[in-house]
Structure 1
């Protein structure tokens, strides 16, 4: 399979690629019906982005051949997707039988009574096929509410040309040689000092791709053993303002204070900056590879996600799940399709062709245990498969995740810009306690 085509698809998973709703050729744009034109059963699915389209048509055809159930697909870009889900599900619409669920929204959609429990359709043995982080993220109140379609992870990328110019040895891609944050910062400073001693070129030594966004930055307090939220899914006092959080966010701030990470670069700009040689080291997902191919894939290398010495590594994770709207017309058919796509033949067919990171243990092990190769994408996915199986920590599971993301993200941005770490975290605690009141 063409690597550029693969990584272009992955990039589309996390970027807004259109300004209007789209349906791939042959997809249905009308409301679903109980039967298709030939009298067979039919379901309609609401998905984010048409990035899966080319791969799903083959899988959907196989599902139809096996079950007689026709699958109609509707795809919408990021901005419109969440609004449409909210409008349709809050109104009790029966237009859709299957809906994509961004995994941090599982608890919120459940509390709003938007989704049916999937417990009646999945046995304990089938649930055990999912990796723990994905199963945990799709569960609320001890019920499986959304089944994992895939997951995600991160690696540390580096620009070989900048390291060569600085005379800095490439970090190892081996898990056993994982860099600590201190070691990473030291390497980043060495590169900067050698290639941009006066700062005139505005080269960052290190950046998180999604700078100031909880999805990537939570790995730092998690990496010091601190949770992102309390076991009750609401408590933040004594957690966000705890010593591990203060220490982690101080280390995060240090990168900006010392000029290793340059201020003024947004999450929408980091990838292009890295690909153009303006960043020496960057933490990012597999979706960044397309941009690296455009810039010349041989110019870049990869290494495991960094960690805090003396602590277990923690890496970001989470992606898209499948849910069944409460008022779906064709519940049994929808459940049959979701199972086919998560623990059945459809899942294996999709994941062995579409290079997303699967959320099932057996598919991750397939990637992890494949023969070593010189293919950049394959080896990045292998490294991420290890992380997904061993170091992944899901985002906070709470009905108030939207508020959490906004408030904590603002605190992270303020910290990066030099505000007092402890004060920022204490302010975030106070704001979240007020924001969570409506859920309790």
Structure 2
């Protein structure tokens, strides 16, 4: 069975910058450098993690990443190189919007110069079906209890561990205190039990605009499935896919249609702006133009950097009569089956995901929860959470990850599914009827998924 190349991005867990040079290096397979002595190592999955042994001679492994910019991950790599002096990690950051096409090119041609790469969690099944992931079950047989359950589930496909989870995510609702105060809107509580409804947020957002706010409500990842799935889930609409192996679209439900009607109304009523790309939505809140901003804790440092921005956080809202649902999922590491440096790669994967709590302890400003349960202490001790404007963020994040976090649909056809939904959300935000747009999406996805059934 032939699978299509991946060409559409998924959500980025943190802002990333990168250049054409990094993309060119990845596509051409250059830049891994170093001694190829790792080629004599055993194939991935045959050496128990407890028995992983550093190479006796220098080895360089290539790591393609989209979760972090090269400068951001430097402290992690420096710590790894200090502990494993014979293994050098050549990290090649790729702009997020180009990442999947770069991976497609390299992995489809079985390029052995790419060793380790970031895997956005909902794409695990799609990558596994294409033969792009190495079975890690024997290398890491005991992850249960070491990483959170949702991350472990996302790293498993066909009953096999095929990625090493290292980072997950959650969401908050940021609000601008100055704009709310000017409109006479009470500041919301940071307690999960006092969670606002989307209906209440909409009404308050309109009040802030009447009092001078440019926009009442702006979603961080506008028109993206990661951010919007919880809207339908809150109303009982499900993830949008079901049936055998989640290969039947399930978008024409009351939950999906009602939530998308509401979503479209935000733009029709000019509560949210049309045409603002994802990369610019945080800037609108950071500059004081937005009353309510649903987004991740990773934006805390950006917002806190503006000393004049008086903001607070509260729980991610839900629909009246529905249930509380929050986005989750993040990044794992995959091992290229064509890699000739499997053991050195597994040692690095173990360092990122497991050793001493994983990579989180080395990040000076993480603001994203690690998958490793021991590593969460480093996350919750971040400086940003001591800022009084972020009061309640730690308890909220802990609560959401334990009680409301919901993974995106797991399906071999995830690539086509997300691609279609991104276009569908864009159409709805630009005025298309939610019912007709979801009907069209259903037809498109059904056609695209025929090859998987």
Q: TM-score surpassing 0.5?
A: yes
The match for 1:43 is 61
Q: Does 1:181 align with 2:215?
A: no
* Root mean square deviation of aligned Cα: 3.0
The match for 2:37 is 34
The match for 2:353 is 342
CA contact (8 A) 1:21 1:80 kept: no
Q: Equivalent residue of 2:61, what SS?
A: strand
Q: Equivalent residue of 2:202, what SS?
A: helix
Query: Which of 402, 422, 425 lines up with 2:435 in the alignment?
Result: 422
Query: Which of 157, 167, 172 lines up with 1:140 in the alignment?
Result: 157
Deviations, residues 52-77 of structure 1 (Å, cap 9, x unaligned): 43221332134306xx5444433333
The match for 1:154 is 171
CA distance in 2, matches of 1:231, 1:131: 26
TM-score (norm 1): 0.84
Alpha-carbon deviation of 1:284?
1.1
Alpha-carbon deviation of 1:122?
2.0
The match for 1:222 is 233
CA distance in 2, matches of 1:374, 1:165: 23
Alpha-carbon deviation of 1:378?
8.0
CA distance in 1, matches of 2:119, 2:243: 22
The match for 2:46 is none
CA distance in 2, matches of 1:367, 1:12: 15
CA distance in 1, matches of 2:365, 2:289: 31
The match for 1:329 is 340
The match for 1:102 is 120
Could you tell which deviates more after superposition, 219-228 or 257-266? 257-266
Alpha-carbon deviation of 1:292?
1.9
The match for 1:363 is 375
CA contact (8 A) 2:360 2:379 kept: no
CA contact (8 A) 2:87 2:344 kept: yes
The match for 2:418 is 405
CA contact (8 A) 2:55 2:344 kept: no
Q: Equivalent residue of 1:127, what SS?
A: coil
Task: Give the paired residue count.
Answer: 417
Query: Which of 74, 84, 90 lines up with 2:108 in the alignment?
Result: 90
Q: Equivalent residue of 1:58, what SS?
A: helix
Q: Equivalent residue of 2:358, what SS?
A: helix
Q: Equivalent residue of 1:211, what SS?
A: coil
CA contact (8 A) 2:247 2:413 kept: no
CA contact (8 A) 1:364 1:385 kept: no
The match for 2:15 is 14
Could you tell which deviates more after superposition, 177-186 or 383-392? 383-392
TM-score (norm 2): 0.82
Q: Does 1:54 align with 2:74?
A: yes
The match for 1:7 is none
CA distance in 1, matches of 2:342, 2:160: 17
- Contiguous gaps of at least 5 residues in structure 1: 1-10, 197-202
CA distance in 2, matches of 1:191, 1:301: 15
CA distance in 1, matches of 2:382, 2:120: 29
The match for 2:319 is 308
Could you tell which deviates more after superposition, 406-415 or 55-64? 55-64
Q: Equivalent residue of 2:63, what SS?
A: strand
Q: Equivalent residue of 1:101, what SS?
A: strand
CA distance in 1, matches of 2:382, 2:280: 34
Q: 1:32 to 1:287 in 2, by over 3 A?
A: farther
Deviations, residues 94-148 of structure 1 (Å, cap 9, x unaligned): 113322222232222111111111111222x423322222222222222221121
CA contact (8 A) 1:44 1:96 kept: yes
CA distance in 2, matches of 1:298, 1:275: 7
Query: Which of 123, 126, 129 lines up with 2:143 in the alignment?
Result: 126
Q: Does 1:81 align with 2:99?
A: yes
Q: Equivalent residue of 2:278, what SS?
A: coil
CA contact (8 A) 2:356 2:375 kept: no
CA distance in 1, matches of 2:156, 2:276: 36
Q: 1:353 to 1:296 in 2, by over 3 A?
A: closer
The match for 1:383 is 396
- Contiguous gaps of at least 5 residues in structure 2: 1-11, 39-53
